[in-house]
Structure 1
Amino acid sequence: MKLVWCPEAASKAFVDAVKALADCDLEDVSVAELVSALTGGWKAQLIVEAWAHDASAAIGIALRAAVGHARGRHVCVVPDKQSATKYVDAMRRAGAPVESESVMTGEAEEVMRELEGLDLMVVDCRRRDAGRILRAARPGPRGMVVVCKGSGRRQDGGAAGVFGAGTRVVRSTYLAIGTGVEVVHVGVGKGPSLGRGRARWIRHVDRCTKEEHVFRRR
């Protein structure tokens, strides 16, 4: 089994997220809209959001708008009760109250151990335990998609170099949205993987000048 992309579901989830965020004056709206399209397009069943205590509620709102298209489950993981309270308050202020059972607190490894079978995960890289969350993630039988928000342009292989041994990273894409977004596709079964620290050649075309640039990412 593997994740199969559905363009129609992605479009519907994106539109619903845009509507849900239209009247919200929040940061990270563009990233949230991207996440909603990925959630709907991959028809994710279990979606985990690793929220940072000073982030906005935009991604949470977008995920709530998208999960209905796949009848999925959205869970937010935070390190402690104080962060949980801040997340619930942020969502409430944005007009999207959440149930207490959809917010999980605790150490990264302990919380992720209870969330087996992830289809999609959004990690705020400003969290000190972001790397531990990535390594502890347990993908579902179809694999999973990981969105690393605020990753910037990393020189160490990005998220592909953070996952634990044995994780098969099929592809990794960096998008210059917000403060930087890296989208990683984790596959299942045997097959090639980007691997830790493996260099890649990336082609980029400047939309304004039409110039083509090829560079090597380590």
Structure 2
Amino acid sequence: MKLSWSPERASKAYIDTVQSCEVSRESGVAEFISAMAAGWNAQLIVETWSQGGVIATSVGLAVARRHTCGRHVCVVADERARSEYAERMGEAGVAAEIVVGEAEEVMEGLVGVEFLVVDGRRKDFPRVVRLAKLSSRGAVLLCKNATSASKAKGFVWRSLVAQAQASNSRRLLRSVFLPVGKGLDMAHVSASSHGTTSRHRWIKHVDQQSGDVHFIRK
């Protein structure tokens, strides 16, 4: 099994997010991310949020969760951030599971991440990606606010994915930078083979008595 794309689910989440965030100035980002999460039918959506940050993306992910019937978890640094996030999400009429703690502690308990959104303005966002325990079905990773300053910190999808998933036979299927909002970096990671995939080869065998040619798969 691997992540499969549903255009219908993506469009519905997009429209619902537009209606929920119609007064937001972060036009485009929330709608796009919501459509991506819903379209890939992500069962575990994880995001990081910092105190004082915009809430539109979180609203979009909450909308996507309604369409996937999965989980939406937000990681915050402390109780003050948790309180503000919960209050602002409540005002928007949506909710998410909130987990407080450092990246090492939080990501340890989140197994099977299929959609991860990190904030390029947070210093720990590369570590969050490296520690993420991605789903065996594959995963979609996004970095919002992916400015040139973020790239200067060494933010490279290929190296992060390689470090995080070196033992799970994963590969980076594709990555792209989109000029949406303040920059959106996106990567699609393959499903894990769990070491079960084997390569076969054909051996040609000629019967010396009959002259018949046989091909044997090994």
Identify the TM-score tier after normalising by the shorter chain: 0.7 to 0.9
The CA RMSD over aligned residues, in Å, is 1.8
**Equivalence for 1:198:** none
**How far has the Cα of 1:157 moved from its partner?**
6.0
Larger Rg: 2
Structure 2 gap segments, 5+ residues each: 194-218
Would the aligned equivalents of 1:5 and 1:41 in 2 still touch at CA under 8 Å?
yes
Q: Which residue of 2 is the match for residue 201 of structure 1?
A: none
Contact 2:137 2:192 in 1 (8 A): no
Contact 1:29–1:59 under 8 Å retained in 2: no
Q: Which residue of 2 aligns with 1:177?
A: 180
| CA offsets 1:85-135 (integer angstroms, 9 cap, x no match) | 121222234x22536xx1001110110111100110111111121111011
Q: How does 1:68-217 map to 2 (within 5 A)?
A: 68-93=66-91, 95-98=92-95, 102-153=97-148, 154=151, 156=154, 158-163=156-161, 164-165=163-164, 166=166, 168-189=171-192
Distance 1:89 1:27 in 2: 19
Distance (Å, rounded) in 2 between the aligned partners of 1:183 and 1:146 = 6
- Asked whether the equivalents of residues 159 and 184 of structure 1 are also in contact (C-alpha less than 8 Å), the reply is yes
Give the distance between the partners of 1:161 and 1:60, measured in 2 at CA. 27
Contact kept in structure 2, 1:88 and 1:97, CA below 8 Å: no
CA contact (8 A) 2:2 2:138 kept: yes
Matched, 1:12 2:7: no
Rounded to whole Å, the distance in 2 between the matches of 1:157 and 1:133 is 12
In the alignment, the residues of structure 1 paired with residue 73 and residue 192 of structure 2 have an alpha-carbon distance, to the nearest angstrom, of 26
Query: Of the candidates 23, 48, 51, which is equivalent to residue 46 of structure 2?
Result: 48
**Percent identity at matched positions?**
39
Mark the CA change 1:29 to 1:180 in structure 2 (over 3 Å): closer, same or farther. Answer: same
> How many aligned residue pairs are there?
185
Matches of 1:11 and 1:55, distance apart in 2 = 26
Distance 1:41 1:157 in 2: 26
Contact 1:143-1:187 at 8 Å conserved across structures: yes
Q: Is the 8 A contact 1:14 1:34 kept in 2?
A: yes
Contact 2:113 2:139 in 1 (8 A): yes
Distance 1:129 1:176, change over 3 A: same
CA drift at 1:18? 0.8
Which consecutive unaligned segments of at least 5 residues does structure 1 have? Answer: 191-218
Tell me the TM-score normalized by structure 2: 0.79
Q: Where in structure 1 do 4 or more consecutive aligned residues deviate above 4 Å?
A: none
* 3-state secondary structure, aligned to 2:28: helix
Cα distance in 1 between the residues matched to 2:53 and 2:158: 24
Whether the 8 Å contact between 1:51 and 1:78 is mirrored in structure 2 is yes
Could you say which residue in structure 1 is the equivalent of 2:206?
A: none
Query: Does structure 1 conserve the Cα–Cα contact (< 8 Å) formed by 2:126 and 2:155?
Result: no
Q: Given that residues 18 and 33 in structure 1 are in contact (C-alpha distance below 8 angstroms), is that contact kept between their aligned partners in structure 2?
A: yes
Give the deviation of 1:170 after TM superposition.
Answer: 1.6
